[in-house]
Amino acid sequence: MEYVLTTDNLTKQYRSFKALGGLSMHVEKGAIYGFVGRNGAGKTTLIRLICGLQTPTSGTYTLYGKKNTEGNLSRERRRMGAVVETPSIYGGMTAEDNLKEQYRVLGRPSFEGIKELLELVGLGDTGKKKAKNFSLGMKQRLGIAVALAGDPDFLVLDEPVNGLDPQGIIEIRELILKLNRERKITFLISSHILDELSRLATHYGFIDAGHIVREVSAKELEDSCRKCTRVEVTDIQALVRVLEKRQMEYKVTSENSADVFGKWDVTEMVLALEAEDCKVLALTEKDESLESYYINLMGGESHA
């Protein structure tokens, strides 16, 4: 497995406040990694560390196979682009002039590719309109264009759809997917808008109180969130016997309940259980979303 970014027991302490406490995560090459956590969980702190804006108190992180403790990471960071908190753009400049300025900062020898980059992010027709007059969605896309100016293959986005209207959200989503599929750019996306993130992410890292609670792939999450029916009974062993006899897929969830997957005849099941002297107490359909998965995960963790 090839990773663009890994962290090992990464810690960041601000006097008496520990923003990160032993965080370990793994961002696979080619992934869209959804970084999920409540405000103050440590998402932006982690992003600032890997972008070189701050230094860790302890622990290590690795970019493209090189540890931060091995010396200068400037070459590896040139392969990164980032939009942290708010897009870094000049409001008094046009979109094209913003990119020219970034090209100068990066020391690029010419302005070749700027028009193509503006077309890529959907800003090819903005002309002499100044960035301060852009919509929030346009500003976010310009921020992404600025982050792309160095031709990175790893892009870090901190709350990229925060405050956007539905059309703006769709535009950013389509741009991220296009960059991932066509340019093979790996993404680390911090977001609390879970429904939108579920339309993008191939992998997830759930962070709470400065450490990773769980990392899962979208496939693993989908398997965990499949539709099922929660069956509560008076005798769980009887329910298991009935389900095993019918070769049905299930998962025991408590001493008197199980989640049963697939389609099945409720009447036939109730009669079969009755023959086992087992009564059905409740049937509840379950269709867990990313949001409910997150709430259950964090709720379970906080009460563990």
The predicted-structure confidence for 238-251, as pLDDT tens digits, reads as follows 999 999 999 999 98
User: What is the pLDDT confidence band of residue 300, given thresholds at 50, 70 and 90?
Assistant: low
User: What is the pLDDT confidence band of residue 294, given thresholds at 50, 70 and 90?
Assistant: confident
Please indicate whether residue 23 or residue 193 has the higher confidence score (pLDDT).
23
Token representation of residue 46: 């982690």
Please tell me the predicted confidence (pLDDT) of residue 290.
Answer: 83
| Dist CA 152 CA 105 (whole Å) | 15
What is the distance, to the nearest Å, from the Cα of residue 9 to the centroid of all Cα atoms in its chain? 20
Which tens digits make up the pLDDT trace of 176-224?
A: 999 999 999 999 999 888 888 999 999 999 999 899 999 999 998 887 7
Which tens digits make up the pLDDT trace of 147-167?
A: 999 999 999 999 999 888 999
pLDDT at 82 over 50: yes
Range 53-79 average pLDDT: 93
Show the domains of the chain with their CATH numbers: 3-216 (3.40.50.300), 226-287 (3.30.70.100)
| Dist CA 246 CA 221 (whole Å) | 26
